[in-house]
Amino acid sequence: MSRALPADLDCVVAVEQVTDYLEGALPLHARTEFEQHLVTCPGCVIYLRQIQAQIAASASLAAERPAPEEVKRKLLAMFRASRGI
């Protein structure tokens, strides 16, 4: 960037901050710098949206697969034994 001004955040740094940003772990000053960078960087906005889309896609992987019947039988037996039933 222009040598005349104190260095602004660049994209190499910004992509390393995305996780902290989404976690709310950046202090106010750093968060403002990061958001300022987003206003001036369509590339990093896309990157952030990619990560957010990825997180949403990951959530759809959560399995609500029921445990196999045999496993449930074994565990139930274990439960009854442990409770003295």
Partner 1 sequence: MPAAAPDLQAHLQDLPLVEALRAGDERAFLGLVGRLHAGMVRFARGFVNTDAAAEDVVQDTWAAVLEGIDGFEGRSALRSWIFGILANLARTRATRDQRAVPLSALQRDECEPAVDPSDFLPASHPRWGGHWAKYPEAWPEAQLLSQETLAHVWAAIDRLPQGQRAVIQLRDVEGWSSEEVRKALSVSEVNQRVLLHRARSRVRREIARHVERRPKP
Partner 2 sequence: MMAWKFLAPGAIAPFTGARWPVPCGPDAGPWLQGRSGEGVHACALGDLPYWIDDELWEVELDAPIFRAAHQLVAARGRLVARIDAWPAAQREFTGACIERTRRRAVDALAAAGRDPEADQVRAERDLDALRDFAERIAASGPFVVGYLFDAIRRRPFPGLCAYIAANAAAAIDGQRGHDEERAAQVAWLADGLKLRQSP
List of residues contacting partner 2 (CB under 8 A): 1-5, 28-29, 32-33, 35-36, 38-42
Rule CB under 8 A: say whether 77 interacts with partner 1.
Answer: no
Helix, strand, or coil (residue 55): helix
Rule CB under 8 A: say whether 4 interacts with partner 1.
Answer: no
Interatomic CA distance for residues 45 and 24, integer angstroms: 17
Q: Fill in the per-residue mask, 24 to 63: x = in contact with partner 1 (CB under 8 A), - = not in contact.
A: -x---------------xxxx-xx-xxx-xxx-xxxxxxx
Could you say which of 6, 16, 29, 69 contacts partner 1 (CB under 8 A)? 16
Question: In the bound complex, what is the minimum distance in angstroms from residue 62's beta carbon to partner 1?
Answer: 5
Q: Residue 24 in contact with residue 35, Cβ under 8 Å?
A: no
Question: In the bound complex, what is the minimum distance in angstroms from residue 75's beta carbon to partner 2?
Answer: 41
Interatomic CA distance for residues 19 and 7, integer angstroms: 22
| DSSP sequence for 19-52 | HHHHHT-S-HHHHHHHHHHHHT-HHHHHHHHHHH
